[in-house]
Chain A
Amino acid sequence: MKKTFTFIALLMFCMALFAGGSNEQSSDIPASVSLSDKSEVTVAVTQNLVSLDVGTTPSGASLAVFDMIYDYLVDSDHNGNLMPQLATSWEVSEDNLTWTFHLREGVKFHNGEDFTSDDVVFTFERMQENPSKYPLYSANNFSLIVSVDAIDDYTVTFTTSEPFGALLTSLSGMAIIPADTVRELGDAFFTEGYCYGTGPWKFEEWIDGQYISFTRNDEYWAGQTSNVDRLVMRFITESSSIVAGLISGTIDATGRVPSDMLSQFDGHPEIILDTVDTSQILIIGLQCGDYSPFHDENVRKAFSYAIDRQLLCDAIMGGGKASNSIMSEGTLGYDANVKMPYDPELAKQLLSESDYNGEPITLYVNTAVVQGEEIMLAVCDMVNSVGFNCNIQMVEQAYINEVRVSGDYDAYVVTASFTGGDPYGYLNQRVLSDSHHHNYADPEINDYITLSNRETDQTQRNEYLKSAVGLMSEHCAPQIALFCYEYNTAIRDGVEGIEYSPEGLYYFDDVYIDK
Chain B
Amino acid sequence: MGKYILRRLGATIVVLFFATLITFILIRLAPGNPALMMLADSATPEEIAAMEAYLGLDKPVIVQYLIYIAGIFKGDFGTSIMYQRPCIDIILSRLPATALLTFAGCTVGLLVAIPLGVLAGVKQGSMVDLSAMTFALLGQSMATVWLAVLLVLIFSVHLGWLPALGYGTFKHLILPAITIGFPLASQTTRLARSGMVDVLKEDYITSTYAKGISRRQVYTKYAFKNAMLPVITIVGLQIAGYLGGAVVTEQVFSWPGLGALMVSAIGNRDYPLVQSTLLVVAVMVSLVNLIVDIINCLVDRRMTLN
Interface residues of A (CB under 8 A from B): 3-4, 7-8, 11-12, 15-16, 18-19, 21-23, 26-29, 31, 48, 50-51, 53, 56-58, 130-133, 135, 138-139, 143, 187, 191, 207-210, 234-238, 240-241, 244-245, 247-250, 396-405, 414, 425-426, 428-430, 433, 435-436
Contact = CB atoms under 8 A, between A and B. Distances in A.
B168 interface: yes
Contacts of B256: 207-210
A117 B42 CA distance: 30
13 contacts: A19-B96, A19-B99, A51-B82, A53-B84, A132-B47, A138-B43, A138-B44, A208-B93, A244-B156, A429-B41, A429-B44, A433-B44, A435-B44
Contacts of A397: 32, 37, 267
Contacts of B30: 398
B157 to A, nearest CB: 5
Contacts of B53: 132
B73 interface: no
A57 B40 contact: yes
Contacts of A234: 165-166, 254
Chain B residues touching A, majority SS = helix
Nearest to A209: B256
Smallest CB-CB A-B distances: 10 pairs: A398-B32, A429-B42, A209-B256, A22-B96, A132-B54, A139-B40, A244-B164, A401-B36, A402-B31, A26-B168
Contacts of B97: 22, 209
B100 interface: yes
Nearest to A395: B31
Nearest to A132: B54
Contacts of A208: 83, 90, 93-94, 256
Nearest to B265: A50
Contacts of B170: 23
Nearest to B168: A26
A428 B295 CA distance: 64
Interface string B11-45: 00000000000000000001111001111111111
Contact of A244 (B165, B268, B269): B165
A506 B40 CA distance: 19
B63 interface: no
B253, B256, B268, B291 pick with most chain A CB within 10 angstroms: B256
A404 B252 contact: no
Contacts of B267: 396-398
Contacts of B137: none
Interface in B44-103: 44-45, 47-48, 50-51, 53-55, 82-85, 90, 93-94, 96-97, 99-100, 103
Nearest to B42: A429
Interface in B237-257: 251-254, 256-257
Contacts of B166: 29, 210, 234, 250
A288 B188 CA distance: 59
A418 to B, nearest CB: 11
Contact of B37 (A4, A398, A430, A436): A398
A46 B170 CA distance: 25
Interface in B150-189: 152-153, 156-157, 160, 163-170
B299 A4 contact: yes
B149 interface: yes
A50 B295 CA distance: 40
Given A209-B94, A240-B252, A425-B40, A399 B31 contact: yes
Contact of B251 (A12, A237, A250): A237
A364 to B, nearest CB: 11
Given A23-B169, A398-B32, A435-B42, A238 B252 contact: yes
Contact of A26 (B152, B167, B295, B299): B167
Given A15-B103, A19-B104, A57-B38, A247 B261 contact: no
Given A4-B295, A21-B96, A209-B261, A132 B84 contact: no
A27, A398, A405 pick with most chain B CB within 10 angstroms: A398
A388 B261 CA distance: 41
Contacts of B43: 138-139, 429, 435
Nearest to A12: B103
B40 A58 contact: yes
A8 B110 CA distance: 14
A143 B90 CA distance: 31
Contact of B42 (A3, A18, A400, A428): A428
Contacts of B37: 397-398, 401
A193 B246 CA distance: 29
A433 B47 CA distance: 13
B142 interface: no
Nearest to A47: B264
A238 B144 CA distance: 14
A53 to B, nearest CB: 6
Contacts of B44: 138, 429, 433, 435
Contacts of B104: 19
A30 to B, nearest CB: 10
A28 B157 CA distance: 20
Given A15-B100, A425-B42, A429-B42, 18 more contacts: A19-B104, A26-B167, A28-B168, A51-B84, A57-B38, A132-B50, A138-B40, A208-B93, A209-B257, A237-B254, A240-B149, A244-B152, A244-B164, A247-B157, A248-B156, A248-B157, A398-B33, A429-B44
A58, A210, A248, A250 pick with most chain B CB within 10 angstroms: A248
Contacts of A400: 32
Given A240-B252, A244-B152, A425-B42, A249 B160 contact: yes
A356 B272 CA distance: 46
Nearest to B248: A238
Contacts of A430: 42
A23 B166 CA distance: 12
B133 interface: no
A246 to B, nearest CB: 9
Contact of A241 (B48, B103, B152): B152
B95 to A, nearest CB: 8
Given A18-B103, A209-B261, A248-B157, A11 B291 contact: yes
Contacts of B143: none
A191 B33 CA distance: 25
A133 B298 contact: no
Nearest to A403: B31
A245 B157 CA distance: 8
A137 to B, nearest CB: 8
A58 B96 CA distance: 29
A405 B39 CA distance: 13
Contacts of A53: 84
B231 to A, nearest CB: 13
B210 to A, nearest CB: 23
A3 B261 contact: no
B200 interface: no
A21 B39 CA distance: 37
